[in-house]
Structure 1
Amino acid sequence: MTAPSKPVQGILWMLFTTINFVLVNAVVKYIGDTLPVLESAFLRFLLGLVFLIPALGAVRTATFTPRIWKLTFGRAIFHAIAMSTWFFAMTRIPMGEVTAINFMNPIYITIGAVVLFGERIALPRILALVIAFAGGLVILRPGFREIDPGHLAMILSAVAFAGSYLIAGALTRELPPAVVVFLMSVTVPIVLSPFALMHWQTPTLHQLVLLFCVAAFATLGHYSMIRAFACAPQTLVQPVVFVQLIWSMTLGFLLFGEPFDPFVMLGGAMIIGAISFITWREARGRRAEEAPVP
């Protein structure tokens, strides 16, 4: 039986996750366009390799087939596109909008699972997807304001992240999660390196320290997310992700003078609500499948 304190721990771990991911956004926003976007994305992964040392033991015992290498480099291409367009978006649009648009990531994963893997989708789930896309329209408000290239870049980033995570799902069925993370972190800078070198600008020590902080906060964020899901069901901790939007808009206002946009809050709430509903339905479906037959 789960201890009463576990759900509280799960919520606290997820709150810590949101803080780390917002700090990632804030540091990337602070760096801005002082370095070429592709170089920044390349250095973020290169400097983050130090955090992979604990995974070396699992990597040594893993078996790498040609299929695994194809999936790994396919994922690296998706992730490189996602990171590059995300860095670009951070230089163009407010932190709150970046965060809210990125909330669409699980929605694209759901659509990809249906289209690519033939997963069934019921009417309530379809309605949740419609609400999430409506939330995206509330954030963007096409026709009521100018759509910045940063908005388009962030949409592409969320779609590319979804592709990366779908491939990661296939890889985790054949490799331990630590090995999957290791392979991504090694192959993404390989994919980015030729593009980063084309417009290389020697970074300052200050910029290197900032990018190392990005890697550190991102690593802490992923670790605390795993701890959150280990402590409590996703149906409980998933809605906490909405707090990340509040952090983003608050820091954006305090640090960068970005206006507080109620439409972004409303759209983000619609997307998170839809994602939480989908997560709840999937969890209920799994419990029904695992229930003993009388």
Structure 2
Amino acid sequence: MNRPLSPALAFAVAAAGIGLFSIMDAFMKSLTLALGVYNALIWRTGVSAVFGFGAWAATGRARPTRRAMRLHVIRGAITAAMALLFFWGLARVPMAQAITLSYIAPLAALLLGALFLHERVGARVIGASFAAFAGVLVVLAGESRASLGPEALAGSAAVLASALLYAVNLVVARMQSQAAGPGEIAFFQGMIVTAFLALGAPWLLAVPEAAQWWKILAGGLLATASLFLLGWAYAHGETGYLATTEYTSFVYAATLGFLVFGEHLSPFTLAGAAIIIASCLYAARRRDIAATGPDSAVLMLLPRKRTRR
């Protein structure tokens, strides 16, 4: 899986995966308003598991190794907590504020990638990440909302915690992509997240109305395709490098908001978007991508027994 190829190709595939995730978020926002956070997540991830199984079967359905299964479970648990926190917080703070807080994830991923995966963090990528974050601050400066409600602080804390979990998720995704194929990752991601959420089913589960099922199916398909693309990209590029693609989600969100909802962008938003795009393009010019092995990182995060492939 770790064939040498152009870093720009891995970057482009990761950015496409983020784009599909951004479209999926639009479906999830509608589902969350209609069904609530728990039911929107469990039904969408359940459908994602079905689509993921198809992708896994189409790529050979190889039996997962012990190492891969441990990583699937770890990432599934992280993803379940991360998603619940994010959508819970999103209901209590403005969208721009939630997205801004979530952008700390790529910066944290840079440090985690260097710490656990021994990846080089060059000046170009560090500079581009901080420049992109500065672009987010420009956008936030234009979003002057007076009253956010009494639960805004709790919502912000939830989104911040979700962003930190997402940074860990990015690092685990890099290790996971070294131990399993994209189809396997897509299937087990959906299945394990659904299994964790199912623990609350006796108290929280409700069957959606017929009018919501097309959104659930669309969201599941988009999530599976995104995981497939991101799994492939992270198998061929470093975590800190590919994490900068997360900043493109703002561009996707702004475009979807204009085309679908007729939302007009303020000068602050346009200026911030320009900084983010320029920063990502600057980071994408990096050429000194070294091949790194995940074995030492896996040994650090997982039990020492049965670590062979």
TM normalised by structure 1 equals 0.70
- Cα offset for 1:275? 3.8
Map of 2:74 onto structure 1: 74
Map of 1:35 onto structure 2: 35
- Cα offset for 1:44? 0.9
Change (3 A) 1:190 1:243: closer
Aligned: 1:248 with 2:259: no
Matched residue SS, 1:190: helix
Is the 1:72–1:184 contact (alpha carbons within 8 Å) kept by the matching residues of 2? Answer: yes
Map of 1:157 onto structure 2: 162
> Structure 2: how far apart are the matches of 1:72 and 1:10?
22
> Structure 2: how far apart are the matches of 1:19 and 1:120?
26
Map of 2:56 onto structure 1: 55
Is the 2:76–2:193 contact (alpha carbons within 8 Å) kept by the matching residues of 1? Answer: yes
Map of 2:191 onto structure 1: 186
Map of 1:280 onto structure 2: 285
Is the 1:168–1:180 contact (alpha carbons within 8 Å) kept by the matching residues of 2? Answer: no
Aligned: 1:64 with 2:101: no
Matched residue SS, 1:62: coil
> Structure 2: how far apart are the matches of 1:119 and 1:240?
17
Code of the aligned partner of 2:66: F
TM normalised by structure 2 equals 0.67
> Structure 2: how far apart are the matches of 1:32 and 1:206?
14
> Structure 1: how far apart are the matches of 2:256 and 2:218?
17
CA RMSD of aligned residues (A): 4.5
Is the 1:242–1:268 contact (alpha carbons within 8 Å) kept by the matching residues of 2? Answer: no
Identity across the alignment (%) = 23
> Structure 1: how far apart are the matches of 2:90 and 2:143?
22
> Structure 2: how far apart are the matches of 1:240 and 1:173?
20
> Structure 2: how far apart are the matches of 1:284 and 1:117?
16
Matched residue SS, 1:111: helix
Deviations for 1:101-130, whole angstroms, at most 9, x for unmatched residues?
A: 655543332122123344443444433333
Q: What are structure 2's unaligned runs of at least 5 residues?
A: 1-5, 236-241, 292-309
Matched residue SS, 2:205: coil
Change (3 A) 1:74 1:142: farther
Is the 2:244–2:283 contact (alpha carbons within 8 Å) kept by the matching residues of 1? Answer: no
Q: What is the number of residues matched between the two proteins?
A: 278
> Structure 1: how far apart are the matches of 2:37 and 2:92?
12
> Structure 1: how far apart are the matches of 2:104 and 2:129?
10
Matched residue SS, 1:33: helix
Deviations for 1:18-52, whole angstroms, at most 9, x for unmatched residues?
A: 76444312222222422121221111110122212
Is the 1:20–1:217 contact (alpha carbons within 8 Å) kept by the matching residues of 2? Answer: yes
